Structure 1
Amino acid sequence: MTATITTPQTTKAAAPEPDDALLTVRDLSIRYGGFTAVQDFSLTLEPGTRVAVVGESGSGKTTACMAVAGFLGPDATVEATAVRFDDTDLLARPRSAVPHRIPGVAVVFQDAMTSLDPVWTVGQQLTAVIRNNDLTTDGRRPSRRAAAARAAEWLRRVGLTDTARVLAARPYELSGGMRQRVMIAIALSGSPKLLIADEPTSALDATLSRELMQLMVALSADVGAGLLMVSHDIALCQEFTDHTVVMHRGRIVEEGPSATLAQTAVHPYTRGLVACVPTLASAALDRLPTMAAVA
């Protein structure tokens, strides 16, 4: 994992990209009119690795990752040296108001309630994905019965055991945690090479957040997918990803191995994020640490 980093202390140039990179982004900048949302964003994600992009709201992390997913509309001006996924030049894809799916890329969104179709049942939505992606050896779609059986199997894999009820339910009839599990099942049932998770646990409590992160990491490994996660929660990223990229005001300010980032952080913004994570040491404080403004 490499990234171009500009900090008040140092400038680090990106290393050469490995030949087997699953995703390569170099010098990505995104503007909306006169506003620059992302500037000089670069990263490399190798097959099977897990990368987190963290930062406060408005830092540009979701915008950068949605550019990779193909979800930016024609109102965005996108410039980059390269944006490649699995030998596909994503810069050459036309952009429109209605996004076109990138084969091999799946997304778990922040709010499953607004991401799932409120009219179709869970079974209809999950089997539609399976029938379009899980083709037989001769290139034909599986039968509806076979797809329904696969859908029930995927619900069990994400921890939903009452499969008949869940398959027949519409999204508004399920809890938030159940909907997010359904989203994970839909995303991974197509056997993607890259899973992009945009704040997948932000609407859940701490216990459910941890359970769903464990589930998503395990299942993405099972299908052989790399994971690109957008998050505010630097503590979860430290535990469940291999590498963390920190963004501030549209730029990457620091990056490093997730497990050691707290000890090796140089940029004051990264140190501030780490200091704001509640710990046993800070439990007795009258006020939790806060992050000072960083230019």
Structure 2
Amino acid sequence: MSPLLAIEDYHLAIPTFDGPARVLDGIDLALDEGETLGIVGESGCGKTVLARSILGIGPGRARRTGGRILFEGRDVGALSERDWRGVRGVKISMIFQDPMTYLNPLFTIGRQLGDAIAAHARAQGATKPGRAERRARAAELLAQVALREPERVLDSYPHQLSGGMRQRVLIALALSGKPRLLIADEPTTALDVTVQAQVLRLLRDLVETLRLTVVMISHDVGAIAALTERVAVMYAGNVVEEGATARVLARPLHPYTRGLLAALPEIDGEIRRLTGVPGTIPSLIDPPSGCRFHPRCPRATAICTTERPAMRRADPVHTVACHHADLA
């Protein structure tokens, strides 16, 4: 059976005054229905651009320069805007990271959820639901994301809700079209630690009860570990390691993944100095030759500067792109 989502050797460039920035450079990923995939990496590595490319809302001047993204076997790059109306928000939905940016301050939550419900019905060729039906469905969605007093929330404006409540409203909006694929782009970034844990528990419960297929984008390894079965580690537009989340976090093979984990503080255990990853992400207009990580890598040798490493399999559920990864 074909995967629900397949990203095949995907390349994306954004034109700049100094030349094209190759923000995605040969991405290969696949996701079966019911799976949860985390994509982790530093800011600027291409996580969000990849997520938006799946939904067809990438940067306006960005151009696909190779490969393709398939959803339900269809190349999303070949979809017309009319075709997208039956996909975006209906079959593929996205939870954005900043609720105040994506909720309209001039309309109540009920109005915004109701408009989304009506739009999804039109996209699916169904009769537009009446006002009472839209409100009942909106209240049902708010209850589904564990918001108390949904009737009160429906009559509220975004500024009258807390950050955690607004994030739950965004999740409800994303679920309003009953999507097959849910993309969560840094869904807990703008929240304090306690509320982050609540939202992650909610997402985990929704994944289990609704059998959602999820791509979660985050720089927070803990959030990825809490929600996903598989993880892909991105660096400078490349996937450098992929595998079962527990396996990758317990036995990271790529020097970059090891650096990310070494920079995380631990609550238990002995006190240690956090090492971090030296240097910064390179320019994507003129990226390093060979392995893009080699200028920052403690294990780099001559081959790393000239030859891009291919993905190698450490075991059936773990692959890595590194010339010096210990696969034994």
Task: Give yes or no for TM over 0.5.
Answer: yes
User: Counterpart amino acid of 2:226?
Assistant: E
1:77 and 2:33 aligned: no
Tell me by how many angstroms 1:28 deviates.
Answer: 0.9
Task: Specify the alignment match of 1:32 in structure 2.
Answer: 14
Provide the identity percentage. 36
1:199 and 2:181 aligned: no
* Structure 2 counterpart SS, 1:44: strand
Tell me by how many angstroms 1:134 deviates.
Answer: 5.4
- Cα distance per residue 1:34-57 (max 9 Å; x no partner): 211110011001101100110000
1:174 and 2:161 aligned: yes
* Structure 1 counterpart SS, 2:129: coil
Q: Which has the higher relative contact order, 1 or 2, with Cα contacts under 8 A spaced 6 or more apart?
A: 1
- Cα distance per residue 1:164-193 (max 9 Å; x no partner): 221111112211111000000110121000
Tell me by how many angstroms 1:290 deviates.
Answer: 2.1
Superposition map of 1:1-295 within 5 A: 19-33=1-15, 34-94=20-80, 102=88, 103-133=90-120, 139-281=126-268, 284-285=271-272, 287-293=273-279, 294-295=296-297
TM-score (norm 2): 0.77
* Structure 2 counterpart SS, 1:132: helix
Q: Is the 8 A contact 1:117 1:171 kept in 2?
A: yes
* Structure 1 counterpart SS, 2:184: strand
* Structure 2 counterpart SS, 1:212: helix
- Cα distance in 1 for partners of 2:65, 2:7 equals 11
* Structure 2 counterpart SS, 1:146: helix
* Structure 2 counterpart SS, 1:159: coil
TM-score (norm 1): 0.86
User: Counterpart amino acid of 1:183?
Assistant: L
User: Counterpart amino acid of 1:64?
Assistant: L
- Cα distance in 2 for partners of 1:282, 1:80 equals 47
- Cα distance in 2 for partners of 1:71, 1:139 equals 25
- Cα distance in 1 for partners of 2:65, 2:199 equals 35
* Structure 2 counterpart SS, 1:80: strand
Task: Specify the alignment match of 2:285 in structure 1.
Answer: none
* Structure 1 counterpart SS, 2:26: strand
- Cα distance per residue 1:243-274 (max 9 Å; x no partner): 00000111111111011212221111101111
User: Counterpart amino acid of 1:53?
Assistant: I
- Cα distance in 1 for partners of 2:207, 2:174 equals 10
User: Structure 1: which 5+ residue stretches go unaligned?
Assistant: 1-18
User: Counterpart amino acid of 1:26?
Assistant: E
Tell me by how many angstroms 1:94 deviates.
Answer: 4.7
User: Structure 2: which 5+ residue stretches go unaligned?
Assistant: 280-295, 298-328
- Cα distance in 1 for partners of 2:203, 2:138 equals 17
- Cα distance in 1 for partners of 2:38, 2:177 equals 22
- Cα distance per residue 1:89-140 (max 9 Å; x no partner): 2010257xxx9662401010010100111211100111122233358x9932
In the comparison of the two structures, how many residue pairs are matched? 273
* Structure 2 counterpart SS, 1:81: strand
Tell me by how many angstroms 1:216 deviates.
Answer: 1.6
- Cα distance in 2 for partners of 1:215, 1:283 equals 32
